[in-house]
């Protein structure tokens, strides 16, 4: 969370905004007056891209499956409603949760190591 006039203190949001801005620059017109038309596609691309810190896409982490592209809308997917499918989904989500925990722990250790690299040890005063 950051104050109203200092959004730069929220690094994760700043990084996400920077990535979305890069996506939008690829598609907007020269005058950059149609960026809002491309926002849903940019959001889809961001949520469907693999993120280094979690080792998968945010959509996969949240739902346990890959996102369906709007370009594949015409395809029909057969769905069966039975209990074994629910058990498979539950087991798959457990595997994904373990995978996420492992990658997030690694990312936290990496960030801590890099942050601590510039810190000095405690100074003793006499």
Q: Does residue 58 form part of some domain?
A: yes
Q: Does residue 84 form part of some domain?
A: yes
Confirm whether pTM is higher than 0.75.
no
The number of angstroms, rounded, from the C-alpha of 46 to the middle of its chain's C-alpha atoms is 7
Q: What is the domain count for the chain?
A: 1
Question: So what's the pLDDT on residue 122?
Answer: 76
Domain range for 90 is 7-116
Q: Does residue 103 form part of some domain?
A: yes
Q: What is the mean pLDDT of each run of 10 residues along the chain (126 residues)?
A: 62 83 81 84 84 86 79 54 73 79 82 82 76
Q: Does residue 125 form part of some domain?
A: no
Question: So what's the pLDDT on residue 1?
Answer: 55
Q: Does residue 83 form part of some domain?
A: yes
DSSP string across the chain: ---TT-GGG-HHHHHHHHHHHHHHHHHS-TT---HHHHHHHHHHHHHHSPBTTTTB-HHHHHHSSPPPPGGGTT--------HHHHHHHHHHHHHHHHHHHHHHHHHHHHHHHHHHTTPPPPPPP-
Q: Does residue 80 form part of some domain?
A: yes
Question: So what's the pLDDT on residue 123?
Answer: 76
Q: Does residue 124 form part of some domain?
A: no
Q: Does residue 1 form part of some domain?
A: no
């Amino acid at each position: 969370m950051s104050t109203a006039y200092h959004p730069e203190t929220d690094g994760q949001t700043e990084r996400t905004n920077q990535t979305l801005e890069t996506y939008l620059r690829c598609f907007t017109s020269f005058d950059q007056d149609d960026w809002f038309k491309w926002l849903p596609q940019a959001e889809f691309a961001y949520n469907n891209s693999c993120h280094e810190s979690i080792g998968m896409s945010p959509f996969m982490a949240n739902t346990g499956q890959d996102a369906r592209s709007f370009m594949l809308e015409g395809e029909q997917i057969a769905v069966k409603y039975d209990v074994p499918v629910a058990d498979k989904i539950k087991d798959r989500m457990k595997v994904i949760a373990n995978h996420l925990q492992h990658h997030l722990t690694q990312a936290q250790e990496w960030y801590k190591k890099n942050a601590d690299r510039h810190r000095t040890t405690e100074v003793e005063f006499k």
